[in-house]
């Protein structure tokens, strides 16, 4: 079953045509990776799935994007509700200047959840889900800024998990991290797959090959190829894809 | 060669830093030095002294009590004021001191106010009150400010301090919610075009000279306040507060808005991506993130209000009495500005005004330190 169905999406920043006729489907509980050179539109595509691009003034979108069979750009679509279902982890770790606990509890609090025990349990559960619990369980009251970069990124993942989204978007989540932290994040993606649908944008082709089931290759706003990851890396259909993954340009 | 030039430039910067610091410290030192002679100065008018009968055990009478005695508000005293014309009907000028000595020695309960030149020195039965200086308790807790009164000028600064605090605090209570509100609107809600027009317009308001605000207050606000609250005069503490609030607004808005705008986009996105509404993002992320900037804005606003002179001089009525909101008041800066010109250089009045300056300095220092502590604590807690 497809949890995301994008149909003929065009996206403009002012006059700049950033996405050209992009159509793709994402299956539930899969990991989909988007690769491509800088400025190819892969992040733009990711960010339109939770309507983060709405924050940028002077943008325009045509086409249809269905999540759970609902058109997220319909006039009466509830953006806040959409973002509860579609969590996001950003390129740079961006914890709030609050305690570790409050960072994870934030999503619950803004959604009106008050029960103290419930919040406590969910925070613990989320931190365990993000493989951070063992490292922080004794210092939940400490500032999130006391953590290392890799820990902060896992905290951001825990924060996104706390509201139990259906989909987790990750925008180059490991690009600011060292190799050890990166491998931790990748392991995490692997385990999260059982419960969440993950869409990840990455510059690192090995990473895409390691973590994803399906890969999409973007170039100059077009989705050049979208297929099974193994096939894409071993035997791509298009020459452009072949050139990019073998490093002949990019 | 390059290194030498760079060293030179560094030294110039270091030197300018040093010079600035030293100048500021010198100003403060000057203020305190000029002021604190006050508590060594006699409490009576310059050139005069007080005498009592030698049997009277009193060694010290406060300025407030001297005034009461001469107004015959305290029983059991016989006030005597030197009157040259009356004495010269019967006595030659050389005999004045002797005659005054007799009067004092004959009257056990006398309190005599005599020019220093006719002072009956070393006369049996006469005690000159030489240690009668202005004391800090009278100064800081005295409720009357009449610096030109005779025989004893009244330097009670309590009404001035309270007047300053009342006018500024009410101003800040008006200006803070308004200013933060406008800052939130400008930084979070306004469309780009609206902000591009509104922000410079508000910044322009900060540049209007305070005399002009004073004009506006006097001509427009004073009658409105008078009519609205049905007062006999519209020049009240409240009028001053409103004008000060308007004057503090641009500072508060600009500084608070800059602080809110500096909240990284990543913070807003993180909040929105978790399903928070725009408004939740504002008060749970943007405001906490910029809280030190916002408190700086409020402190700068208070600083502007407390130190403001011209406007309060023009619209608050300038009555140095215990303040109430809908009555005329007088603030410390207004007092200094109005009176320094007519206070004799180096005299008691002059020194008293300098101590007032010190008081003002201490108040603002206290406010800045408090604000600093607040924003520090917020940071340490990680919000």
A250 pLDDT higher than 60: no
Which one is the CATH code of B48-133: 2.40.50, 1.10.10, 1.10.760, 3.40.190?
Answer: 3.40.190
Query: Of B267, B274, B382, which has the smallest distance from its Cβ to A110's Cβ?
Result: B274
Asked if the Cβ–Cβ distance from B275 to A57 is below 8 Å, we say: no
Please confirm whether the linkage preceding B151 is cis (ω < 30° from 0): yes
| CB of A41 closer than 8 Å to CB of A13 | no
pLDDT tens for B95-127 read 888 888 888 888 888 888 888 888 888 888 888
Query: Of B269, B273, B383, which has the smallest distance from its Cβ to A98's Cβ?
Result: B383
Q: Give the model's pLDDT for residue B383.
A: 45
Average pLDDT rounded to a whole number, residues B150-168: 89
Average pLDDT rounded to a whole number, residues B54-62: 84
Phi, psi at residue A65, to the nearest 5°?
Answer: -130, 115
Query: Of A50, A90, A106, which has the smallest distance from its Cβ to B266's Cβ?
Result: A90
Question: Does the CB of A55 have a partner CB in chain B at under 8 Å?
Answer: yes
User: Looking at beta carbons, which residues of chain A come within 8 Å of B265?
Assistant: 55
pLDDT tens for B260-280 read 998 888 899 999 999 999 999
| Alpha carbons B65 and B77: distance in angstroms, whole number | 11
| Alpha carbons A168 and A160: distance in angstroms, whole number | 8
Range name among A2-16, A189-203, A229-243, B367-381 with the lowest pLDDT average: B367-381
Asked if the Cβ–Cβ distance from B273 to A160 is below 8 Å, we say: yes
| CB of A11 closer than 8 Å to CB of A59 | yes
Q: How far is B24 from chain A (nearest CA, A)?
A: 36
Asked if the Cβ–Cβ distance from A145 to B274 is below 8 Å, we say: no
Instruction: Report domain extents, chain B.
Output: 2-40, 48-133, 158-382
User: Looking at beta carbons, which residues of chain A come within 8 Å of B277?
Assistant: 80, 110
pLDDT tens for B346-381 read 888 999 999 999 999 998 888 888 777 776 765 554
A8 pLDDT higher than 90: yes
Categorize the per-residue pLDDT at A174 as very low, low, confident or very high, splitting at 50, 70 and 90: confident
Q: Give the model's pLDDT for residue B142.
A: 87
| CB of B282 closer than 8 Å to CB of B145 | no
CB pairs under 8 A between A and B: 76
| CB of B241 closer than 8 Å to CB of B304 | no
Question: Does the CB of B271 have a partner CB in chain A at under 8 Å?
Answer: yes
pLDDT tens for B295-304 read 888 888 888 8
pLDDT tens for B298-346 read 888 888 888 888 888 889 888 888 888 898 899 999 999 999 888 888 8
Q: Give the model's pLDDT for residue A248.
A: 67
Query: Of B192, B270, B275, which has the smallest distance from its Cβ to A163's Cβ?
Result: B275
Which ipTM was obtained for this model? 0.89
Average model confidence (pLDDT) for chain B?
88
User: Looking at beta carbons, which residues of chain B come within 8 Å of A46?
Assistant: none
Q: Give the model's pLDDT for residue B381.
A: 46
Average pLDDT rounded to a whole number, residues B72-83: 85
Picking from B273, B375, B378 by the largest number of A CB atoms within 10 A of its own CB, the best residue to mutate is B273
Average pLDDT rounded to a whole number, residues A205-225: 91
pLDDT tens for A20-31 read 999 999 999 999
Give the tokens for residue B11: 């030294």
Give the tokens for residue B10: 């560094």
Question: Does the CB of A173 have a partner CB in chain B at under 8 Å?
Answer: no
Q: How far is CA B350 from CA B9, B61, B149, B158, in A?
A: 43, 22, 14, 18
Q: Do domains B48-133 and B158-382 have the same CATH topology?
A: no
User: Looking at beta carbons, which residues of chain A come within 8 Å of B288?
Assistant: 97-98
Q: Give the model's pLDDT for residue A249.
A: 60
Query: Of B192, B264, B274, which has the smallest distance from its Cβ to A163's Cβ?
Result: B274
Give the tokens for residue A209: 């090959």
| CB of A151 closer than 8 Å to CB of B265 | no
Best CA proximity match to B66, nearest among B96, B97, B44:
B44
B42 pLDDT higher than 70: yes
Question: Does the CB of B1 have a partner CB in chain A at under 8 Å?
Answer: no
Best CA proximity match to B44, nearest among B112, B120, B121:
B112
Query: Of B267, B274, B284, which has the smallest distance from its Cβ to A83's Cβ?
Result: B274
Average pLDDT rounded to a whole number, residues B249-263: 92
Question: Does the CB of B383 have a partner CB in chain A at under 8 Å?
Answer: yes
Angle between helices B348-380 and B2-36 (to 10 degrees): 130
Average pLDDT rounded to a whole number, residues A27-44: 91
Q: Give the model's pLDDT for residue B325.
A: 87
User: Domain spanning B158-382: which CATH class is it, in words?
Assistant: mainly alpha
DSSP one-letter string for A99-122: BHHHHHHHHHHHTT---HHHHHHH
pLDDT tens for A45-93 read 999 999 999 888 889 999 999 999 989 998 888 999 999 999 999 999 9
Q: Give the model's pLDDT for residue A158.
A: 94
Q: Give the model's pLDDT for residue A104.
A: 94
* Domain with residues A29-40+80-245, CATH architecture: 3-Layer(aba) Sandwich (3.40)
Q: Give the model's pLDDT for residue B63.
A: 83
Q: How far is CA A35 from CA A53, A173, A208, A222, in A?
A: 19, 13, 7, 12
Asked if the Cβ–Cβ distance from A83 to B268 is below 8 Å, we say: no
Give the tokens for residue A15: 């006059």
Q: Give the model's pLDDT for residue B377.
A: 65
Give the tokens for residue B296: 């700086």
């Amino acid at each position: 079953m497809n949890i995301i169905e994008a149909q003929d999406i065009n996206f403009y920043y002012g006059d700049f045509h950033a996405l050209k006729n992009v159509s793709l489907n994402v299956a539930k509980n899969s990991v989909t990776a988007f690769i491509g050179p800088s400025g190819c539109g892969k992040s733009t595509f990711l960010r339109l799935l939770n309507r983060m691009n709405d924050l940028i003034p002077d943008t325009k979108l045509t086409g249809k994007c269905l999540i759970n069979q609902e058109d997220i750009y319909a006039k009466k679509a509830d953006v806040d509700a959409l973002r509860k279902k579609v969590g996001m982890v950003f390129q740079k770790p961006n914890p709030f200047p609050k305690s570790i606990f409050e960072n994870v509890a934030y999503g619950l609090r803004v959604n009106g959840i008050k029960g103290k025990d419930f919040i406590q349990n969910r925070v613990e559960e989320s931190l365990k889900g993000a493989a951070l619990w063992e490292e922080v369980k004794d210092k939940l009251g400490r500032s999130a800024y006391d953590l290392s970069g890799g820990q902060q990124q896992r905290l951001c993942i825990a924060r996104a998990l706390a509201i139990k989204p259906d989909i987790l978007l990750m925008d180059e989540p490991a690009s600011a991290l060292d190799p050890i932290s990166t491998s931790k994040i990748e392991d995490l993606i692997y385990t999260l797959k059982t419960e969440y649908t993950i869409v990840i944008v990455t510059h690192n082709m090995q990473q895409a090959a390691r973590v994803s089931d399906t890969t999409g290759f973007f170039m100059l706003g077009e989705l050049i190829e979208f297929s099974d990851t193994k096939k894409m890396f071993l035997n791509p259909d298009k020459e452009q894809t072949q050139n990019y993954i073998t490093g002949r340009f990019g | 060669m390059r290194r030498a030039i760079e060293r030179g430039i560094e030294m110039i910067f270091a030197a300018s830093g040093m010079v600035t610091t030293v100048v500021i410290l010198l100003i403060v030192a000057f203020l305190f030095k000029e002021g604190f002679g006050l508590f060594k100065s006699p409490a009576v008018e310059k050139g005069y002294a007080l005498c009592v009968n030698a049997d009277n055990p009193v060694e010290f009478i406060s300025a407030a009590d001297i005034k009461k005695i001469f107004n015959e508000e305290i029983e059991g005293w016989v006030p005597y004021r030197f009157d040259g014309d009356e004495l010269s009907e019967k006595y030659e000028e050389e005999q004045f001191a002797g005659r005054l000595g007799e009067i004092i020695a004959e009257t056990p309960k006398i309190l005599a106010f005599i020019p220093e030149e006719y002072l009956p020195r070393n006369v049996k039965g006469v005690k000159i009150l030489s240690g009668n200086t202005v004391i800090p308790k009278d100064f800081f807790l005295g409720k009357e400010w009449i610096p030109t009164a005779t025989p004893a000028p009244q330097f009670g600064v309590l009404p001035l301090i309270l007047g300053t605090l009342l006018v500024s605090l009410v101003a800040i209570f008006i200006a803070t919610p308004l200013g933060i509100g406008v800052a939130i609107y400008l930084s979070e809600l306004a469309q780009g075009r609206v902000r591009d027009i509104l922000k410079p317009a508000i910044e322009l308001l900060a540049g209007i000279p305070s005399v002009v605000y004073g004009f506006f207050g006097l001509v427009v606000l004073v009658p409105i306040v008078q009519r609205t609250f049905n007062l006999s005069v519209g020049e009240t503490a409240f009028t001053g507060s409103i004008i000060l609030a308007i004057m503090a607004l641009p500072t508060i808005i600009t500084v608070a808005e800059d602080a809110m705008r500096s909240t990284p986009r990543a913070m807003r996105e993180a909040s929105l991506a978790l399903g928070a509404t725009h408004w939740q993002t504002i008060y749970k992320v943007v405001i906490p993130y910029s809280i030190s900037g916002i408190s700086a804005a409020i402190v700068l606003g208070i600083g502007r209000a407390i130190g403001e002179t011209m406007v309060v001089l023009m619209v608050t009525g300038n009555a140095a009495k215990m303040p109430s909101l809908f009555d005329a008041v007088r603030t410390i800066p207004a007092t200094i500005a109005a009176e320094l010109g007519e206070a004799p250089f180096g005299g008691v009045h002059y020194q008293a005004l300098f101590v007032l300056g010190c008081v003002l300095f201490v108040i603002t220092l206290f406010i800045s330190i408090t604000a600093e502590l607040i924003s520090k604590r917020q940071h340490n807690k990680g919000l």
